[in-house]
Amino acid sequence: MKIKIKNTLKSSNTLLIIPVMPNDLKSSAFKNFSKEEVLSKKLIASFSAKKATYLLLAGAQTERILLIGLGEAQPSYKNILYAFRKFGVDFKSQFDNKVTLNLSYVGTAHDAQQIALLTTAAVNGLQLSIYDIGLYKTAERIAHPFAKPTATLTIITEKTFQKEIERAAYEGVAKGKTQLSIMDLVNAPGNKAIPEVLGQWAVNSGKQFGYKTTVFSKKKITSTGLHALLAVNRGSEHTPAFIIMEYKPKNAGKKKLPKVGLVGKGVTFDTGGISIKGSQNMHYMKSDMGGAAAVLGTMELTAKLQLPVHLIGIVPATDNCVDALAIKPGDVINSYSGKTIEITDTDAEGRLILADGLAYLNKNFKPEIMLDLATLTGSSVRTFGYQCGAAFSKNEQLIAQLSAAGNTTGERIWPLPIWDEYQSHMDSDVADIKNFSGRPVAGAISAAKFLEFFTSEHPRWAHLDIAGVAFGDTGFSKQKSATGYGVGLLVEFLKNLVK
Ligand code: BES
Ligand code: ZN
Ligand code: ZN
């Protein structure tokens, strides 16, 4: 989607989109516009402008004018994005690939920062609206008008905001495209998005957007001693991958950049292993690499935006399957850190591969901030449902920074405690730690305590359990599907860090 910024609307044979909140319809600016276009007062009076509602009007000068309702309250990034994504989906057969957007009637957006947020959200939503979940359908797929290379979005704005809007719109497109790409990964089934495919994605993305990617083969994983990843991989027919990505801005010079490390759980399918899961909804376990997708997407978008950070991303990838060679409950395994682990449940596999990812990241890169993201526990879903990710850290400032970023982008997180009293839940008689508490309580917390064991008491580490938010009811597919969660949150966090 090409973006053009203009100060006035010239072409009248266009679809002109105007987002509004209910009160904006009564503003003098909008009334003047209404008069010029001779719009029906009756129709406008009947329009509620509630969140994601639409009114299509024929103007005297402009062929078609579409009002998009944003709802009463200060419109949030999430609501604007949803309204525009839904517009792009619902109206796709009613417009060609050229539309015009005028944001200047939204009453609350008067400063550059708010207009920028509104612009990024709107463009992000339009970009996401081209998403086609039918990856493996054989019938010819009709491309969305915005998916065509000639697609153009013209944004009308005052001169004063032009630069800001241009940058914000670019960010909306860049972010949307990266999200589309990782949504494909999360929605792809376990027989397609195998570890090698995640590795290839990272290699291609790194080449295209300018960051370094190294993918460890099984041989290299073995010689490096990533024993916990290898243990989970024992039951798999697919070779594991350990993906290491590193980004620095092109013209960094000698400037000291904050060094941030990310680890994402890349379980390409989780059967549970020998502690096998029930079959109901097991197909959704193709999404057990939602953490990996967030990390991959964040590497890509950070490189696209050339943020002034030194970013390292690590994705340990394997599926968790059942086989004669698979690890069994009671087995004791080694790990990269040298600590031994008693496997009390093979379905608690994510924390095993993350333990190696975190220990490797910490030892080899020594990041100042260390974050991991994982679809880790059903317990976090039972706690929060689908409204937020669960965040764990002893560093309250880090939690506050993550919360703030998530509140801005609508990818919320909420803290749960990791008090040391919970550590005894993970005590093993035979090894240094066990991987499942065996208790019916505090599952997300004891998982976090397990991970913490492998972070060498890093002072700025946080764990995000995103099992409830990475995959779910999006309103854009019949079954649950990828949400794209995490990229916006992490990139916003990084931006705030260097502000
Ligand atoms: N991948 C699952 C967690 C999960 C559950 C993600 C639901 C998304 C939706 C994870 O590997 C798992 O199986 N966790 C177990 C842990 C238990 C065995 C300690 C769980 O939460 O039941
Ligand atoms: Zn599992
Ligand atoms: Zn899992």
Cα gap 462→458, rounded to integer Å: 9
Q: Output the CA 16–ligand 1 centroid distance in Å.
A: 46
Nearest protein CA to atom 13 of ligand 1, as residue: 347
Q: Output the CA 492–ligand 2 centroid distance in Å.
A: 29
Span 182-209, mean pLDDT? 98
How high is the pLDDT of residue 299? 99
* CB 487, CB 295: distance < 8 Å: no
pLDDT at 31 over 80: yes
How high is the pLDDT of residue 17? 96
- Among 73-77, 332-336, 460-464, which is the least confidently predicted range? 73-77
Span 492-499, mean pLDDT? 97
Question: Does the predicted model carry a pTM greater than 0.75?
Answer: yes
How high is the pLDDT of residue 435? 98
* CB 187, CB 136: distance < 8 Å: no
| Three-state secondary-structure class, residue 306 | coil
How high is the pLDDT of residue 114? 87
How high is the pLDDT of residue 107? 80
Is any atom of ligand 1 closer than 6 Å to the C-beta of 345? yes
Residue identified by tokens 């496997």 is 343
Cα gap 159→91, rounded to integer Å: 30
Using left for φ > 0, alpha for ψ between -120 and 50, and beta otherwise, residue 70 falls in alpha
pLDDT tens by residue, 376-435: 999 999 999 999 999 999 999 999 999 999 999 999 999 999 999 999 999 999 999 999
Nearest protein CA to atom 3 of ligand 1, as residue: 377
Q: Output the CA 376–ligand 2 centroid distance in Å.
A: 7
For the purposes of burial, counting CB atoms within 10 Å of the CB of 340, is it exposed (0-12), middle (13-18) or buried (19 or more)? middle
How high is the pLDDT of residue 141? 85
pLDDT at 474 over 80: yes
Residues known to be catalytic: 277, 351
pLDDT at 59 over 90: yes
Is any atom of ligand 1 closer than 6 Å to the C-beta of 349? yes
In ligand 1, the atom with minimum distance to the C-alpha of 320 is 11
Cα gap 330→401, rounded to integer Å: 40
User: Tell me, what DSSP letter sits at residue 125?
Assistant: H
pLDDT at 109 over 70: no
What is the dihedral angle through the alpha carbons of 417, 423, 424, 430, rounded to the nearest 10 degrees? 150
Which of 364, 362, 374, 371 has its CA nearest to residue 461? 371
Nearest protein CA to atom 14 of ligand 1, as residue: 377
pLDDT at 333 over 90: yes
Nearest protein CA to atom 5 of ligand 1, as residue: 378
Which residues crowd ion ligand 2, with CB under 5 Å?
A: 270, 347, 349
Residue identified by tokens 């409830």 is 468
How high is the pLDDT of residue 12? 77
Is any atom of ligand 1 closer than 6 Å to the C-beta of 319? no
Question: What percent of the chain is modeled with pLDDT above 90?
Answer: 90
